[in-house]
Structure 1
Amino acid sequence: MAISSRFSVGIHILTLIAFNKDGVSSSDYLAASVNTNPALIRKITGMLKKAGLVEVRPGVAGTTLARKLSEITLLDVYQAVDVVQDNELFNVHPSPSPKCEVGRNIQETIVPILSSAQLALEKVLQHVTIGDIVKDIHMKEGI
């Protein structure tokens, strides 16, 4: 199982907007950096807008950040673009056989483990901001 690439693309979009403070961050511009189709960028940007992370003004080319870099966590991005069923990252088979010793017990055994894994992921993502991503790229680029 993998988290969709929408998550990393969402981070890419927000980081590029932060880098492009004085320029116009159009879907074509963002798509060129991500190396994807502008339609995908518009879809993900729409999800980011709905979550209150970016502002898109009708009739005006470009997208801007709706919050400070230090106020946008990777958890915010994840929750905005990776819609998961019932807020659960892991899906568990809903109807194993009650006639089998494993089937009778598998859900009760693995659900707490999977829930802990999800909480650990969310805790890490909650403590990293887009500002941290920008700082790291600045360091790597010697800016």
Structure 2
Amino acid sequence: MSANSRLTIAAHALTWIGLYQRRGHEVATSEQIATSVNTNPVVIRRLLATLSKAGLVDSRRGAGAGWMLARDLAAITLLDVYQAIEPGPVFALHPATPDHECVVGHGIGPAMTAVYDKVEAALRRELAKTTLEDVLRDVLRAA
């Protein structure tokens, strides 16, 4: 099972747009962002469309088309990004109902739900503590 990288790609794209705008550019193209992420521009466009629905980016069409942040980097948390691109829970129970005649099948749902609820709450708390401004600061420090 591979790890999901959508949050990392979204944070990368948004942070890149923020830095690009700070350097005096109004909008960034999906091609420019895709070059930094090292992926296909279609992947970036789809992701940015999702982020646009969440109010994190805006787009401009026509001449000078591209993407811009809808809010300042300091006003966007990793939780905002996570909620925009991963609307469901981190973990899920069985897709089929386990055998309730089995002691484990009967109790696995409530036992795992209790753990998953705590994990989800901790994840959300941690993501809420970090803004994309923090991410950019750390990125620039590492460079």
State TM-score, norm by structure 2: 0.90
Give the 3-state SS of the residue equivalent to 2:42 in structure 1: helix
2:138 is aligned with what amino acid? D
Show the counterpart of 1:97.
99
Show the counterpart of 2:18.
18
Matches within 5 A, 1:37-116: 37-59=40-62, 60-84=64-88, 88-93=89-94, 94-116=96-118
Cα RMSD over matched residues? 1.4
Distance in 1 of aligned mates of 2:103 and 2:131: 45
2:45 is aligned with what amino acid? R
1:74-115 CA-to-partner distances (Å, cap 9, x unmatched) read: 01101111232xxx2211014110111111111111111111
2:40 is aligned with what amino acid? N
- Report the Cα offset of residue 2 of structure 1: 5.9
State TM-score, norm by structure 1: 0.90
Cα distance change, pair 2–76 in 1 and its aligned pair in 2 (3 A): farther
Give the 3-state SS of the residue equivalent to 1:91 in structure 2: coil
Unaligned runs of 5+ in 1: none
Contact 1:3 1:82 in 2 (8 A): no
Show the counterpart of 1:121.
123
1:111 is aligned with what amino acid? T
Distance in 1 of aligned mates of 2:41 and 2:87: 21
- Report the Cα offset of residue 3 of structure 1: 5.6
Give the share of equivalent positions with the same residue, in percent.
39
- Residue 136 in structure 1 maps to residue 138 in structure 2: yes
- How many residues in Structure 1 have an aligned counterpart in Structure 2? 138
1:135 is aligned with what amino acid? R
Runs of 4+ with deviation above 4 angstroms: none
Give the 3-state SS of the residue equivalent to 1:20 in structure 2: helix
Contact 1:74 1:129 in 2 (8 A): yes
Unaligned runs of 5+ in 2: none
